Amino acid sequence: LKLERDISNAIFKDEFFFVLQPLISSVTMEVTSAEALIRWQRGDTIVAPNDFIPFLEESAMIIEVGDKMLTKVCEFLVQLKQRGLLTASFKIAVNISGKQLSEADFIDKVTTVLRKYQIAGHYLEFEITESVALDNLKDTINKINELKQIGISFSLDDFGTGYSSLSHLKDLPVDKLKIDQSFINDINVDKQDENLVKSILQLAVNLGIVTVAEGVETKEQVEWLKENGSMLLQGYYFSRPILPNEFIEKYLISK
Q: Which residues bind Na ion (CB under 5 A)?
A: 157-158
Shortest reach from residue 159's CB to Na ion, in Å: 8
Is 157 among the residues that bind ligand G (CB under 6 A)? yes
Per the CB < 8 A criterion, the answer to whether 85 and 252 are in contact is yes
Q: Cα–Cα distance between 33 and 22 in angstroms, integer? A: 6
Q: Is 130 in the site for ligand G (CB under 6 A)?
A: no
User: Phi and psi dihedrals of 253, rounded to 5?
Assistant: -100, -45
Q: Are the C-beta atoms of residues 53 and 100 closer than 8 Å to each other? A: no
Cβ proximity to ligand G: between 86 and 158 the closer is 158
Window of 24-32, 42-50, 80-88, 106-114 that interacts with ligand G by CB under 6 A: 42-50
**Residue in 215, 231, 232, 233 binding ligand G, rule: CB under 6 A:** 215
Residue 169 or 184: the one with the smaller Cβ distance to ligand G is: 184
Read off the amino acid at residue 251: Y
Shortest distance (Å) from residue 203 CB to Na ion: 17
> Shortest approach of ligand G to residue 235 CB, angstroms?
3
Interface residue list for Mn ion (CB under 5 A): 95, 127, 157
CB 229 within 8 A of CB 218: no
The smaller minimum CB distance to Mn ion, of residues 128 and 222, is found at: 128
Q: Which of 48, 60, 137, 189 binds ligand G (CB under 6 A)?
A: 48
Alpha helices (H) along the chain: 2-12, 53-59, 61-82, 98-102, 106-117, 130-135, 137-149, 166-171, 181-184, 191-207, 219-227, 244-247
Select the residue interacting with ligand G from 41, 71, 136, 181 (CB under 6 A): 181
156 or 197, CB closer to Mn ion?
Answer: 156
User: Distance (Å, rounded) from C-alpha 245 to C-alpha 77?
Assistant: 12
* In the complex, least distance from residue 207 CB atom to Na ion, rounded to whole angstroms: 19
- Closer residue to ligand G (CB): 79 or 181: 181
**Residue partners of 161: CB distance under 8 A and separation at least 6:** 130, 180, 182
Contact of 153 with 121, CB cutoff 8 Å: no
Residues 82-111 that bind ligand G (CB under 6 A): 95, 97
Q: In whole angstroms, how close is the CB of 204 to Mn ion at the nearest point?
A: 17
Distance CA 120, CA 114 (A): 7
Kindly state whether residue 69 participates in binding ligand G, applying the rule CB under 6 A: yes
